[in-house]
Structure 1
Amino acid sequence: QWAAIDAGVQQRARLHNALLADLYGAQEVLRDGILPPHAVEGHPQYLRAMRGVVPPGGVFVHLYAADLVRDAAGRWIVLSERLDAPTGAGYALENRIVVSQTFPELYRDAGVRRLAPFFQGWRDSIMGLSGSTTPRAALLTPGPYNEAYFEHAYLARYLGLSLVEGQDLAALDTGVFLRTLSGLERVDVIFRRVDSEFADPLELRHDSALGVPGLAEAVRSGRVVLANALGGAVAEAPVITAHIAAICDYFLGERLDLPGMPTLWCGDADQAATAL
Structure 2
Amino acid sequence: MSSALAPFDRHRRLLFAVAYQMLSSVADAEDVVQDAWLRWSAADRSGVDDERAYLVQIATRLALDRLRSARSRRESYVGPWLPEPLLTDADLIAAGSGPVDPPDAAEVGEQVSLALLVVLETLSPTERAVFVLREVFGLPAAEVAAALGSTEVAVRQTAHRAREHVRARRPRFEADRRAQREVTERFLAAAAGGDVDALLAALAPDVVLVSDGGGKAKAALRPITGAGKVARFLAGVSAQGLTVPDLRVEVADVNGGPAIVAWAGGAPFLSMSMVLGEDGRIEQVLLVRNPDKLRGIGSR
TM-score by length of 1: 0.26
Higher relative contact order (CA 8 A, sep 6+): 1
Larger helix fraction of residues = 2
TM-score by length of 2: 0.25
